[in-house]
Amino acid sequence: MKEPLLVSACLVGKPTKYNGKDNQICEWEQLKEKYHLILVCPEVAGGLEIPRLPSERTNDRVINREGKDVTKEFQKGAETACFLIRKYRIKKALLKEGSPSCGVEECYDGTFSGKKIFRSGVTTERLKNLGIEVYSEKTIKQLLE
């Protein structure tokens, strides 16, 4: 049986990005050969629409470009990811770098000025706290070795 892997839906071609596009990676078929892919888009799972305004993390909140607080939706999306982790007994995840939900090492700083800081997304933070090994498209080779 293939090992389960939680994956940001946009990385395998699902058009779940805020602008209705995807972030498809060229390794997605290799990934599918090796793992049982469990897809999640935390922002959509949290109730946000496609398309939607981009959001960024501030200190302890998440706000969209017009200043609306969407923290609750982001937390709900993280809950969905945690539910899938438990349901499928997942130990590893591949998430999209830079996203306020899925960012692994970095995300935007909350000023909507394009500046990134060393911080994980809301969902990633939760998964790391559960002891999940989280990879991004930048470290995907380690998953395919």
C-beta of 90 vs 145, nearer to ligand SF4: 90
Q: Give the angle 120-77-34 at the CA atoms, nearest 5°.
A: 75
C-beta of 9 vs 85, nearer to ligand SF4: 9
Q: Which of 5, 17, 122, 127 binds ligand SF4 (CB under 6 A)?
A: 17
Angle between helices 71-88 and 122-129 (to 10 degrees): 40
Contacts with ligand SF4: how many residues (CB under 6 A)? 12
Under rule CB under 6 A, residue 62 binds ligand SF4: no
How far apart CA 105 and CA 15 sit, in angstroms, is: 23
Under rule CB under 6 A, residue 96 binds ligand SF4: yes
How far apart CA 145 and CA 140 sit, in angstroms, is: 9
Under rule CB under 6 A, residue 48 binds ligand SF4: no
Q: Which of 78, 81, 94, 102 binds ligand SF4 (CB under 6 A)?
A: 102
Q: Closest separation between CB of residue 29 and ligand SF4, Å?
A: 19
Q: Closest separation between CB of residue 54 and ligand SF4, Å?
A: 10
Q: Which residues contact 40 (CB under 8 A, 6 or more apart)?
A: 6, 7, 8, 9, 77, 80, 81, 84, 123
Site of tokens 């500046």 = 115
C-beta of 20 vs 111, nearer to ligand SF4: 20
C-alpha separations of 38 from 72, 104, 108, 116, 142 in Å:
23, 18, 26, 28, 18
| Interacting residues with ligand SF4 (CB under 6 A) | 8-10, 16-17, 41-43, 96, 99, 101-102
